[in-house]
Amino acid sequence: MTAVFVACFVLGLLLAVYVMLHGVERPAPPATRAPHEVGGGHDPRTEPSPLLNRQNVAAFVTTFGVGGYLLERFTTLGTPATVGLALLMGAAGAGLSLVLLAAWAIPSVRRDVVDERYLMQGHPARVTRDIAVDGEGEIAYEADGRTWTVGARSWDGAAIAAGTEVAIERVEGGVAYVEQWAEVEARL
């Protein structure tokens, strides 16, 4: 049983790291909409369940593994008692995770105000239709394995030729304001 408990502990830690990197309170935007069209505000329809989510699974598996290993190593309890107590410890860990998620993480996202104009800031793109002086052209960028196009203007009003690499500064009113990548790179 020691190997099972250690494996659960390691698996739980790996899942916890995944959850930390990808977040549990902010689900990924739907892939059917272009990233420049996705809003950054709170959407109750996409709010994750505080009960059934990866964070609680990670908490359960990790505390089950740790608790089971410690009980097996430092007590003389039999296997059924060790597994039973480890399951209770796992449930307690998942319960604590649920309380933290329901009382802190999800409510903080509800209060969060995101300026949607800057969600794409810094994203690389390529001009596909010339941007005239104080005029509008078009850019293409890749996100989620797909190529998206959007109308674009130069952030400083300068002309930018088709084929030029640019960085998105902001998206406002369905128009991306961009800066030539060479200028961005010179500042780095």
**Domain holding 145: CATH number?**
2.40.50.140
Q: Are 72 and 5 in contact (CB under 8 A)?
A: yes
Return the axis-axis angle of helices 2-22 and 54-74, rounded to nearest 10°: 150
Over the range 133-169, which residues count as b (16 or more CB within 10 Å of their CB) and which as e? eeeebbbebebeeeebebbbbbbeeeebeeebbbbbb
pTM of the model: 0.61
Residue 73 is predicted with a pLDDT of 95
Strands 165-172, 146-154: pairing is unpaired
Residues 152 and 165 in one domain: yes
The verdict on 12 and 78 lying in the same domain is: yes
Q: What is the pLDDT of residue 2?
A: 95
pLDDT at residue 27 in the model: 58
Q: Which domain holds residue 128?
A: 118-187
3-state secondary structure of 164: coil
124, 76: one domain? no
* Average pLDDT, consecutive stretches of 10 residues, N- to C-terminus, the chain (188 residues): 97 95 65 60 65 91 98 96 98 95 80 73 95 95 89 94 95 92 90
What confidence score (pLDDT) does residue 110 get? 73
For residues 75 and 33, membership in a common domain is answered with yes
Spatial contact of 158 and 44, defined as CB atoms under 8 Å apart: no
Are residues 12 and 76 both part of a single domain? yes
pLDDT score of 32: 58
CA dist 160 → 26, 121, 165 (Å): 36, 18, 9
Query: What pLDDT does 103 receive?
Result: 86
Give the closest residue to 182 by CA, choosing from 174, 161, 130.
Answer: 161
Based on the domain organization, do 108 and 128 belong to the same domain?
A: no
> Final residue of a domain: which of 114, 145, 162?
114
Count up the domains in the chain and report the number: 2
pLDDT value of residue 107 = 79
The confidence score (pLDDT) of residue 1 equals: 92
